[in-house]
Structure 1
Amino acid sequence: METTVMNVAVSHGIWAVLAVFLLVYIVKSNEKRDEKQEEREKNYQSVIEKLTEKLEILHQVQSDLSEIKENLFGKHKQE
């Protein structure tokens, strides 16, 4: 398809050729950029999932620590 468009552009002059070349170049560049963006988003999602798991662990540790404090200080108050 690109060669057909280029042949038509050649028949219309150098500016048409340059315009078509620029258009094809931009489309290909955008495709590469989009692929990189998708990969970056997947990496970000992976990082977010890992951080979420770590945060859940932190909340569990905080809950356990609160329970330990309650048991320790609760015993001192009863004595």
Structure 2
Amino acid sequence: MENELFKVIINNGAWAVLFVWLLIDTRKESKVREEKLQGIINKNQEVISELADKFDVVEDIQSDVTDIKNKLEKVG
């Protein structure tokens, strides 16, 4: 496969070399971009998880406040 690729490059000259260089360069850039994107996604998942935990705390507080209100209404 590589031998055939080199034959094509030799036969087609500079255009083939430029194409192959551009292809390799683009793939490298895509890999770097994908790694950065995956890092961002992982950070976002952590933030979402933290917010979900905090929301659970808020729901617990809301439930406690509702219970206190109900008890105060019964007493007063």
**Structure 2 length normalisation: TM-score?**
0.87
Q: Does 1:43 align with 2:43?
A: yes
Quick one: distance in 2 between partners of 1:34 and 1:73?
58
Moved over 2 A (4+): none
What's the CA shift for 1:45?
0.3
Unaligned 5+ residue runs, structure 2?
A: none
Which structure has the higher relative contact order (CA within 8 Å, separation 6+)?
Answer: 1
Distance 2:56 2:74 in 1: 27
Alignment TM-score, normalising by the size of structure 1: 0.84
Q: Percent of aligned positions with the same letter in both sequences?
A: 32
Aligned residues between the structures? 71
1-structure distance, mates of 2:74, 2:51:
34
1:73 Cα deviation from its structure 2 partner: 1.3
Let me know the Cα RMSD of the aligned residues.
1.5
> Where do residues 1-79 of structure 1 align in structure 2 (5 Å cutoff)?
8=6, 9=9, 11=10, 12-76=12-76
Q: Distance in 2 between matches of 1:54 and 1:74?
A: 31
